[in-house]
Each structure stands twice: as C-alpha cells, then as structure tokens.
Amino acid sequence: MWAVTLIAVAVVLWLLYRKKWFSSLKEQGIPGPEPNLLFGNLFDLIRKGPLVCKGEWIKKYGNVVGYYFGATPVVIVADADLLKRILVSDFHKFINRPNLSSPVHRVNKSALTKREEGYSQRLVFLRDKRWKEIRSIITPTFTASKMKQMAPIMNGAIDSLLDNIEKQGSSEFNIHGMYQRLTMDVIGRTAFGIQTDVQNNPDDLFLRCAKGFFQNDTKNPILLLSSSFQSLNFLWTAVGWLKVRATNKGTNPVNELIQSVKDVIASRRSNKESRRNDLLQLMIDAEIDDLSTITSDDLTAKDDNEEKTTGASSGKLTRRMTDADILDNSVMFFLVGYETTSTALAFTTHFLIHYPEAQEKLRQEVQNLIETEGDLDYSSVNKLQYLDEVIHESLRLFPPIYQFHREVAEDVELGKYKLKKGCKVEVSANHMHRNPELWGSDADEFKPERFSPENKKNIHPMAYQSFGAGPRNCVGMRFAYMEAKLALARLLAKYRLVTSSKTESLDGITLKIAPTILTPRNGIWLKAVPV
C-alpha cells in the first residue's frame, strides 16, 4: 500500500514538474502550440512532417513561434529583422550551437580533457572562445586564392563523374547517387588527402561511412524517446552506432577512415615532398598570431571573390591547428560537405530537367565561356552569372540544410519578446525562403532572375539562409559553390539532361526529411543526351 502511495505521489510530482517545464515559453510571452506533457510537440512534427507542421504554426502564430522538441523549448524566428540581430549585430549573445537532445546545456568538465579524435572538436560543435579560435584559423583557408588551388583536384573527380555518365548511354539513371559519390570523392581528395575510388567501387571506405552517418529521418521513434526524456539521450547515439556496425559486418568504418587520415597527416608533417594543394594541407599550414585582433567580419565566410586578411601579426605566440584539430575538422567537412552539396546538385538538376529553356540558356552561357576562356576552372566558372542565379534559386526553394539553431548566451530582449539564457533559437530557412512578404506572391516559383545583379540588391540580407549568415555561417560556402558550379558547367557542356520514365513531377518530388537535412528520397532520375 505504501509503495503504491509513494509511486502515485512521485508520478503526481513529476507531472507537476513537467507541466511547469512546459510553461516556460508561455511565461516568456512566446506564442505557440500546446505541448503534450510526455513528448512536447514531437508527435505533430513526426505525424505531419517538420516542414508542413512548422509552416502551419508560423501561419497561425506569426513569425516568432515557441514549441517543444521533446523536452527542449525552441523558438522559431522567421522575422528577417530579428534574425539580423541574432546572426549579425548581437551575434555575441547567440554565439553557440545548441544540442537539441538535451533540454539543459551542461558542460562535462571531465570530458574536456578526454579527446575522442575525429568527433570531439569539430567546428560545428565548438563553443565560445574555443570556437572563435579554430574558426579564426580555418576561415582564411577558404579564400578565393586558396580555392583556385583546389579546382584541379575537383576537376579530376568530375572527370570520373562524366565517365560514369557516358557509360549509361541512352539508359535512365539516378544522378543523385552519382552526385553523392562525386562529393565524397572530392572530400576524400581535398579534406582527407586520400585518392579514393568511391565513384567506381561500391565497397569504398567513404561509401561505407556514409551509410552509417546519413540514414536517420524525423520519423525515427528513437528520436521521439531520446528527445523527450533526457535520461534516454544515449539511445539516439547508441542506435546510430549499431546501424553503422550492422551495415559494415560488425566494424566501424569511421575508425578506419580516421586512422588513414592520421597516417596522411603524419606523412605530410615529416616529408615536405608529400605536400599537396588541398584542403588538408591548408589546415596543416593554417596559423594565426593574435585572437584579439579578429572581428566578426573576419569570421564570416564569403561567397564571392572578396579577399580579406584575417588576424594581423602582433608578435605573440603563433597558434596552429593540432593534428587532432585537423582530424576532427576533416571528419566535419565530410559530414556537412557530402550530403549538402550532392543534394544541392540534385535539386538544381531537378529544376533544369523540368525547365529546359533555363537549361538551354545555361548551356549557351557555358559554351560561350569555353569558347573565350578555354578550360573551366575557379576563375572562369565564377563568370557564369546565370549559373550563379540558377544555383541560388534552387537552394532557395530546396535548401539542403532547412533549419539550424543558436543558443541564447544571456537573457536578452528580442523585439517584444524576452528570451532566457539557454533558450534555443531556430532559423527555418525553408520558411524564410518561401515567405511572400520577402519574395513576393510568386515565392514558390522557380525564377533564377531573382538573383540577377539588378534584383539581388533588393533582397533583404537575412531572407536567404542556405548557408546561414553572420560569423557562424557555413565556413565552406565558397568551396561548395565552386564544386557545384564546376560540376554543372562541365556536365551541361557535354550533355542535355531530359526526363525519363522514373522522373518525378516538378511539384511531386518526394522528400526525405532528416532532423536538419532535406534530400530527394527517390533520387533524381533522367537521361543524358550528348550535345
């Protein structure tokens, strides 16, 4: 009897605590849907899908909406002016990326002294001063002059892509799969210093790693449990690693990859003859003198040819990336560079096969450039204005990273709202990109000319969020643009891409929605006809 009574009291107290926890957003004056005491608003997100569900919330509650990702309170901000404060002007108050699987951020001090190489210090997850330090060293690696050094390596990988397309003859094929192997190949050659055979070998190390990393979506029931109850956080990670091993005969290919990169780094440190003009070498050589000289503008990645010298020399002790730093960030570039760039190429191709007039205009631009410039490289493809417009418009309608988050570092007033320290802020790129108030009544239509020089200047600087904005935007933005431009320009110079029997309709494309990444679930099927 006493045991039953104690259990009943414990349950009541827990429910009262839970109810109090789920009232935090309302207490801050932030409107939003009523949460379930067990799972917050995750049931609606899973049942309807995050794009539809959040679209309904924004339409009902406005451009600032609070919801609960399991037990984690999150505030969606879809107001461009407020986003400028969050991402740029008040950046120091929103400097960190949160972990949505944990309602309260806790720093495990003992973990800070124990490194798990390849995982623990990736730039995406670093915080505060440590993030600024590594970002300051890495950002100059992606200047235009450095990108020029890597264009030949990318072109070598694109040669393999074109060879494989030629082998298809008149058959229909899924070009998304080919793009995935292309971007893996590029990351292998540039960030890992490894000559891969990923575009031809189905058992390649990079392909095996990808099968483990990129297979979850928002309908996974483990996500529901691990996000709703903090004590079950470990499930999400554990199930992920079990899947990795299940698809790789009980082994973890990531460990193989990490050891391979360790060997390459050690070789380059000891033998100058093994140096190459790739991203890995740039990280090995990167250095900075004085962190105090770094400004927010220095940390912000650019998507044009603007050069900026970061960190003037002060005579202080030079800071370089350790081997562990380089290894961790090589893995990070694989995680964020493989799926996002291949998906951007896939969605852009989807539009081009459904808008043959845009494809023909783009092909003519490429052919004219080849006649005057010769080979396609970093400098020449950046002269393809219409290609730039097409890629931007595709990324607007289908941003691979459809949402990202920031954590409030201190209590802050954001317009009429008061956000408490530790609150998670969500930027919904998908809804920003399709907002008629920012893009007009034709916001859902594919119109590359939106990004023409004369029209681009009229776009609100926060309306386009495919790579984020401000000092914590995507550091590899210029790298991704170069890879996409080179691949598309060379592909269209050689082939006309047309629909096939398996091609999904323009508006009927089936999407796979992972926690942050949007991809075409069934691929992009087409035929390639020689020009």
Known binding-site positions for heme: 474
Closest CA to 62 of 79, 40, 74: 79
- Using alpha carbons, list the distances in angstroms from residue 243 to 207, 208, 240, 336: 14, 11, 5, 20
Q: Report how far residue 410's alpha carbon sits from residue 386's, in angstroms, rounded to the nearest whole number.
A: 43
Please give the backbone phi and psi of residue 97, each rounded to the nearest 5 degrees, phi first. -90, 135
Beta carbons within 10 angstroms of residue 429's beta carbon = 24
| Annotated binding-site members | 474
| Residues sharing a CB contact under 8 Å with residue 2, sequence separation 6 or more, in sequence order | none
* d(C-alpha 485, C-alpha 365), whole Å: 12
Name beta bridge partners: 495.
530
Contact 148, 378 (CB under 8 A): yes
Instruction: For 264-306, give the DSSP string.
Output: HHHHHHH-GGG--SSHHHHHHH-EES-GGG--HHHHS--SSS-
Question: Alpha-carbon Rg of the chain, whole angstroms?
Answer: 24
Complete DSSP assignment for 378-431: HHHHTT-HHHHHHHHHHHHHS-SB-EEEEE-SS-EEETTEEEPTT-EEEEEHHH
Phi first, then psi, for residue 426 (nearest 5°) are -110, 130
Cα separations in angstroms, 282 against 101, 121, 255, 321: 34, 18, 23, 10
**Do residues 366 and 486 make contact, with C-beta atoms less than 8 angstroms apart?**
no
CA separation for the pair 183, 157 (Å, rounded): 8
